[in-house]
Each structure stands twice: as C-alpha cells, then as structure tokens.
C-alpha cells in the first residue's frame, strides 16, 4: 500500500468524506488507507496544495443540504439526550454512548457540546481509570444518601463526620467537589426574621455567666421564643434546651405569646426529665419569663432562674443558634397557612436535630448520642 499511487481526485474524495462529519475510523475503513496518510492529505487540502474544485451552483446546494441535514440531526439528538451543557464530561460521554449506534459520534458530540477529541480521549483512558476516580464513584452515592436524608441541610463538614463514622476517610474538599458534580446544594431559606430589642431590667441577674458547657444533664436549661408567619398572622414557638447535650427537651406552638406558652413548655420538659433537682433555668428578660406567675411557678419547682442581659443575644447564644438552624434548615423553606402546619414542621425538625443531626459543638455527634454515652459511662 505504501508504494501505491493515488490520484488528486481520490485524495480530495477521501478528505472531503472525512470533513463531511465522518470519524477517522469510518474514513480509514471506507478507503483502506493509513491514519498518517489521511492527515497528510488533509493538511495538503487545507493549505490549498490540491487544486480546488470549481464551485458550481449544484455543489453549493448539495453543501447547504448537508449542513441542514447535519443541523437537523444535532437538534434531534439534543432532544433525545437531554444532557445539560453544564454536565460533566463523564456524563456527556455516557450520553454519547447511549446513541452512538443511531448517530455519528461527531453529531452526538456537537449535540452535548463536547469536543470529539475529548470523547475519544476519555474512551481511551476509561480502561485505565485511577483508584481515586473509582473511589469517587463509590463515595458519591453515600454523600447523596446522607445529604437527602438530612433533607438538603448538611454541608461538607458534617457529611465528612458521618462518613468517618461509617469507616470512610474523605477530605472536605473532595466532598465539596463531588457535591458540586452532583449539583447538591444546601437549600437556602426564603426569608429572614427581625427581632425587637427588649426593655432593660437590670435587677434580673445573670447567674449563668456564659458557662454554656455543662458536665451533666439537667444542670442548666435555656429557653427562648420566636415567631413564624402563618398566612397574615404570627405564631409563636417556645423551646427548652439542655446545655449539656444541646438536646431540645420540649417545645410548644401557640397563637399567643403569653405566660401559658412558657409554663406549658417548661412543664413538659420538667415532667419528661423526672423533675430534676438543683436545676437552673436561663432565658432572656421577656415578660413571659419575668412575670410573677412564671417566676412563682419555677420557685414551686425549686428551680433557680437566670436572665440574659437585654440587647446581648450572646448571653442566650445556644437558643439563638438553635432558632437560626431551625429557620434556615426548616421553617424558611416554605410558607404556612395554619398553626398545625408549623407545629408539624417544628416537631419533625426537632426529632432530626436531637437524633440525627451532627453538631459541631458536640464533635459532630447528635444530642441523643451524647446523652446515651453519658448514662452508659455511669454504669461502668
């Protein structure tokens, strides 16, 4: 074959066949020539070393028809593949492979905005994928499962901790990259809340002094109230949290922000925890906590009361942080039309928060895990 003489017309025919959107492989099989010869002729053709054929009206019509047919094929392939232009090259290659028996590779690559060379490069190295790349494919479903089970709340850091508990050591940067490849983004809230500064009452003492880390359950409970819109009205959510484990002990949702709201919430927690002794109860100086009825109720339960300084939300930071998470990860993702809808959403989130959500302050353990470990240590 190397000594065979080819006419100029034959060379033109080969090059034009290739340029008419046929692959290298298809061209070589059609004309039985070496790959190096094809590209040598292509270079000669493009540098006008061949005598250019005289253009005729018939040739122009045929050329235009070929372009129209090709565009039609590209659009048809796009409608079938439904592959986003922003998809990864791996996803685009998979899309091309699905239809390569129906369309040429060049048509399919144009349809998914993938250079033909990139497709063949990926195919050549697919058999030699690194262990790192193969591990990516194993880790992706785990990340997606954890993210979806958290109802789209967890980012790379808590996901890393959960993977470690399952025996997988994965860097945060790698998790972030894989989440981006899978288009997993933490769902953002719909709105922000606004708070009014309470009236200063300096005669209520702060006995907690920002000692948020307690060594045992039922030493200090903290409480606060926030509001959520239901239609055109505000509904009020009160919670009580144990500082030792950050567990939400009880909550109540009400149409009114009054003393009964705080009494009801405290009563549920106090009874559930077995009426603990030597308990301190810390809150802001809202009237629901400072009124005579609530203070007398706590005295009857032998509970010491402590108050944050007005205008310093850091002195009740644990509750503030919880409400921030509650709103960002649950409440502000949708709107509500009734108090029942709010109650259901708060209850569902608190169950997740207490039993499944990793907490940075707790070394990425859940409150339930912290308390279980504490009571288990008492038995040893």
Give the sign of the dihedral formed by CA 251, CA 254, CA 257, CA 258.
negative
pLDDT along the chain (380 residues), means of 10: 72 84 84 86 74 59 79 86 78 87 89 88 71 81 88 86 88 89 74 52 77 92 94 93 95 92 94 93 92 91 91 86 91 89 94 91 90 89
Looking at residue 202, its pLDDT comes to: 55
Number of domains in the chain: 3
Give exposure, 158-197, as e/b (b: 16+ Cβ within 10 Å): bbbbbbeeeeeebeeebbbebbeeeebeeeeeeeeeeeee
Looking at residue 241, its pLDDT comes to: 96
**224: exposed, middle or buried (Cβ count in 10 Å: 0-12, 13-18, 19+):** buried
Same domain, 372 and 252: yes
Do 358 and 166 meet the contact criterion of CB atoms below 8 Å apart? no
DSSP state string for 140-161? HHHHHHHHHHTTS---HHHHHH
> How does pLDDT run across 360-374, given as a tens digit for each residue?
888 889 999 999 999
Same domain, 294 and 316: yes
Same domain, 51 and 164: no
> How does pLDDT run across 262-272, given as a tens digit for each residue?
999 999 999 99
Same domain, 116 and 72: yes
> How does pLDDT run across 239-298, given as a tens digit for each residue?
999 999 999 999 999 999 989 999 999 999 999 999 999 999 999 998 899 998 899 999
**42: exposed, middle or buried (Cβ count in 10 Å: 0-12, 13-18, 19+):** middle
Taking the C-alpha atoms of residue 150 and residue 369, their distance in angstroms, rounded to an integer, is: 17
Same domain, 148 and 112: no
Q: Tokens for 193? A: 């809340």
Do 219 and 280 meet the contact criterion of CB atoms below 8 Å apart? yes
- Structural domain of residue 167, as residue ranges? 131-181
Same domain, 273 and 305: yes
If one counts every other C-beta atom within 10 angstroms of the C-beta of residue 41, the result is 22
Taking the C-alpha atoms of residue 86 and residue 67, their distance in angstroms, rounded to an integer, is: 26
Same domain, 325 and 236: yes
Give the sign of the dihedral formed by CA 188, CA 190, CA 192, CA 193.
negative
Do 114 and 84 meet the contact criterion of CB atoms below 8 Å apart? no
Domain membership flag for residue 172: yes
Looking at residue 1, its pLDDT comes to: 44
3-class DSSP state for residue 40?
Answer: helix
> How does pLDDT run across 6-19, given as a tens digit for each residue?
888 888 888 888 88
Taking the C-alpha atoms of residue 367 and residue 354, their distance in angstroms, rounded to an integer, is: 5
Of the candidates 68, 89, 120, which is a domain's last residue? 120
Phi and psi at residue 340, to the nearest 5°: -65, -40
The CATH number that applies at residue 279 is 3.30.420.10
């Amino acid at each position: 074959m190397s000594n065979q003489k080819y006419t100029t017309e034959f060379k033109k025919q080969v090059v034009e066949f290739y340029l008419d959107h046929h692959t290298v492989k298809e061209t070589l099989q059609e004309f039985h020539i070496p790959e190096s010869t094809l590209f040598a002729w292509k270079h000669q053709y493009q540098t006008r070393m061949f005598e250019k054929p005289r253009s005729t009206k018939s040739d122009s019509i045929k050329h235009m028809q070929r372009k129209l047919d090709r565009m039609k094929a590209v659009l048809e392939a796009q409608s079938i593949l439904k592959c986003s232009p922003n998809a990864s090259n791996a996803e685009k290659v998979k899309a091309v492979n699905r239809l390569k028996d129906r369309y040429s590779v060049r048509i399919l690559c144009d349809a998914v905005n993938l250079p033909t060379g990139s497709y063949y490069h990926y195919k050549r190295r697919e058999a030699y994928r690194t262990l790192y790349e193969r591990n990516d494919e194993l880790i992706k479903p785990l990340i997606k499962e954890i993210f979806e089970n958290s109802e789209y709340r967890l980012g790379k850091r808590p996901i890393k901790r959960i993977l470690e508990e399952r025996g997988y050591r994965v860097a945060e940067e790698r998790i972030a990259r894989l989440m981006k490849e899978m288009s997993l983004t933490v769902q953002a809230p719909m709105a922000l809340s606004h708070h009014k500064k309470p009236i200063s009452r300096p005669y209520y003492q702060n006995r907690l002094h920002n000692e948020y880390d307690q060594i045992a359950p039922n030493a200090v409970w903290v409480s606060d109230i926030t509001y959520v819109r239901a239609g055109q009205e505000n509904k009020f959510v009160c919670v009580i949290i144990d500082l030792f484990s950050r567990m939400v002990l009880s909550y109540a949702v009400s149409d009114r922000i009054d003393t009964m709201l705080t009494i009801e919430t405290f009563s549920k927690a106090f009874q559930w925890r077995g009426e603990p002794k030597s308990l301190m109860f810390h809150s802001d100086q809202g009237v629901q906590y400072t009124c005579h009825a609530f203070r007398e109720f706590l005295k009857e339960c032998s509970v010491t009361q402590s108050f944050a300084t007005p205008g310093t939300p850091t002195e009740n930071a644990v509750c503030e942080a919880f409400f921030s998470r509650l709103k960002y990860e649950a409440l502000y993702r949708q709107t509500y039309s009734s108090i029942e809808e709010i109650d259901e959403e708060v209850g569902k989130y608190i169950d997740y928060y207490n039993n499944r959500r990793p907490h940075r302050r707790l070394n990425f353990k859940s409150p339930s895990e912290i308390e279980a470990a504490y009571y288990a240590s008492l038995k040893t």
